[in-house]
Amino acid sequence: MIQAVYSLLATYQGASVTTVGHSVGGALALLDGIFLRMQLDPTVDVRIVTYGTPRVGNDVFASFANAMLAGRMKHINNKKDPLPIVPAITLGFHQTSGEIHIQGSGAWIECPGEDNADPRCIAGTVTNIGNAQWSDHPGPYNGVMIKCN
């Protein structure tokens, strides 16, 4: 992957790199974005945008990612999607900062910090799997449903 990115950046001077994914693909996009930030020239703008992404690492990992990509990560969570709250905080897992939570009304709310307990944010809305709604996982995200057939 990295050779292809180097080649594209050489071809398209000044280009930026954005990794994107949904669900487990979002977890991979997060890991790839961190890897690319570590490998690419610091002048290359690297961003991460994910949808319905589970927690990937512990608090040390989340702090590392937040420092490495400050203000360049967005993880978008839909209503009562259960995936963003797993694995559980009680097992030591934490979300990175950059949450945008889609409300039942359709409004998009920015939630500062990691695992914000505000009831307008995913960790405050879906406090356990019992009050989650699996049908929210595929979207909609700006009217787009993400699902495999």
Supply the pLDDT for residue 1. Answer: 79
Contacts of 11 (CB under 8 A, 6+ apart): none
**CATH annotation of 2-136:** 3.40.50.1820
Q: Which of 32, 81, 115, 136 is catalytic?
A: 81
16 as an active site residue: the answer is no
Q: Report pLDDT digits (tens) over 30-88.
A: 999 999 999 999 999 999 999 999 999 999 999 999 999 999 999 999 999 999 999 99
Q: Which of 7, 16, 23, 105 is catalytic?
A: 23
Supply the pLDDT for residue 149. Answer: 61
Residue linked to tokens 């989650």: 132
Supply the pLDDT for residue 147. Answer: 79
Query: What does the mean pLDDT of the chain come to?
Result: 96
The model's pTM is 0.94
32 as an active site residue: the answer is no
Domain edges within the chain: 2-136
